Amino acid sequence: MFDYLFLGTGASVPSRDRALPCVAVRRGADIILFDCGEGSQRQLMVSRFSFMKIRGIFVTHLHGDHFYGLPGLLQTMGMSGRTDPLLVCGPEGFSEALRSCLEVCEGEIGYPLEMRDVGPGDRVGVAGMTVEVFATEHGIASQGYVLRDGPARKIDTAKAESLGIKGDDFRRLENGEEVNGVRMEDICLPPVPGSSVAYTGDTKKCQSVIDAVRGVDVLIHESTYLTSEESNAEAHNHSTAKQAAEVADEAGVGTLVLIHVSNRYKDLKPVLEEASAVFPNTVVPRDFEFYVTVKGGIRSA
Ligand SMILES: [Zn+2]
Ligand SMILES: [Zn+2]
């Protein structure tokens, strides 16, 4: 089950109220970060999440509002004594851009940092979870991600007992060993599907997003404009709140979360109203709002 911390919900330029895109999804102690706009490390420092617990960072595209915060965050982790490995992924050109930035600035990292270019169709394993990459449409190389918790596995204790499995046998089975011809899958109930969250980054409404996010528990979609600015959304390859809600509706997701809201909208109520008219189960968080998973969706905590 995931927790969600919305560290940056603004678009393009930061404002007094909203920082640039950065969303932390946590499972247990492990944190996955989506996008890392300028100032994200400071947002993390004043939040309840420790940046030392980040296991993977996934950047959607190389526009500055989604990327400029990454070199600084990586460097601060090193200066804070991080020794745990970290995986950072982004679209084509990401690794080269990040590497040259760190080299030019002589950024000391000091922990195992794996930089990887990934693209639509790729699957990446991180901290026991899976990240699927899907195509978005934003005028440059851009992509979104679906994060899936592994399926929850439960042991059928009656069956284990009937097969003579006891005590230390369970540990051996967990380690992949066979015990008297019995394997772990022989004593497990059918897996319960795990949680799933999709993060689009910047995109206009497109079929590749609808296909990729079908049925996810939570869809975090950009919502730069309202319908009154639809021509602007079209011109800049962004979405309106209504279009994001249509994606959520057509894909049959559980909850829609709107971020990347233009600074021209100081009041978020019209954004929520426009989306809710199409997809009622919508939330529009402010910076630092924290959501937990509850039965039937997520709730602010
Ligand atoms: Zn953006
Ligand atoms: Zn962009």
In SS3 terms, 148-177 reads as ECCCECCECHHHHHHCCCCCCHHHHHHCCC
Q: Domain spans of the chain? A: 3-152+191-300, 154-186
Question: When comparing pLDDT for 91 and 152, which is higher?
Answer: 91
Whether the predicted pLDDT of 148 surpasses 90? yes
Return the active site residues. 65
- How far apart are the CA of 23 and the centre of ligand 2, in A? 15
Whether the predicted pLDDT of 151 surpasses 70? no
Q: Which ligand is nearest to the CA of 260?
A: 1
Whether the predicted pLDDT of 203 surpasses 90? yes
Q: Which ligand is nearest to the CA of 14?
A: 1
Question: When comparing pLDDT for 108 and 162, which is higher?
Answer: 162
| Average pLDDT score over residue span 30-45 | 97
| Average pLDDT score over residue span 189-211 | 91
Backbone angles phi, psi at 249, to 5 degrees: -65, -50
Q: Which ligand is nearest to the CA of 259?
A: 1
pTM: 0.88
Whether the predicted pLDDT of 153 surpasses 70? no
Per-residue tokens: 51 = 């940046």
pLDDT band at 53 (very low <50, low <70, confident <90, very high): very high
Whether the predicted pLDDT of 28 surpasses 70? yes
Q: Which helix (H) or strand (E) holds 45?
A: helix 40-46
What does pLDDT average to over the chain?
A: 94
Residue with tokens 């970290």: 86
Residues 125-144: b if buried by 16+ CB within 10 A, e if exposed: ebbebebbbbbbebeebbbb
Poorest-confidence range of 13-27, 156-170, 269-283?
Answer: 156-170
Whether the predicted pLDDT of 190 surpasses 90? no
Per-residue tokens: 5 = 């911390």
pLDDT tens digits, one per residue of 232-285: 999 999 999 999 999 999 999 999 999 999 999 999 999 999 999 999 999 999
pLDDT of residue 188: 86
The answer to whether 274 touches 261, Cβ cutoff 8 Å, is: no
- How far apart are the CA of 135 and the centre of ligand 1, in A? 16
- How far apart are the CA of 163 and the centre of ligand 1, in A? 56
- How far apart are the CA of 16 and the centre of ligand 2, in A? 20
User: Which residues crowd ion ligand 2, with CB under 5 Å?
Assistant: 63, 202
pLDDT of residue 50: 92
Residue with tokens 């932390």: 24
Q: What percent of the chain has pLDDT over 90?
A: 84
Please count the CA atoms within 13 angstroms of the CA of 180 that sit on its side-chain side: 11
Whether the predicted pLDDT of 184 surpasses 90? no
> Is 3.10.450.230 the CATH number for 3-152+191-300?
no
- How far apart are the CA of 161 and the centre of ligand 2, in A? 56
Q: What percent of the chain has pLDDT over 70?
A: 98
Question: When comparing pLDDT for 108 and 180, which is higher?
Answer: 180
Backbone torsion region of residue 166, taken as left when φ is above 0, otherwise alpha when ψ lies between -120 and 50, otherwise beta: beta
- How far apart are the CA of 140 and the centre of ligand 1, in A? 12
Q: Which ligand is nearest to the CA of 13?
A: 1
Q: Spell out the residues 6+ positions from residue 209 whose beta carbon is closer than 8 angstroms to its own.
A: 134, 135, 136, 144, 200, 203, 221, 247, 251
Measure the CA–CA gap between 157 and 231, rounded to whole angstroms.
60
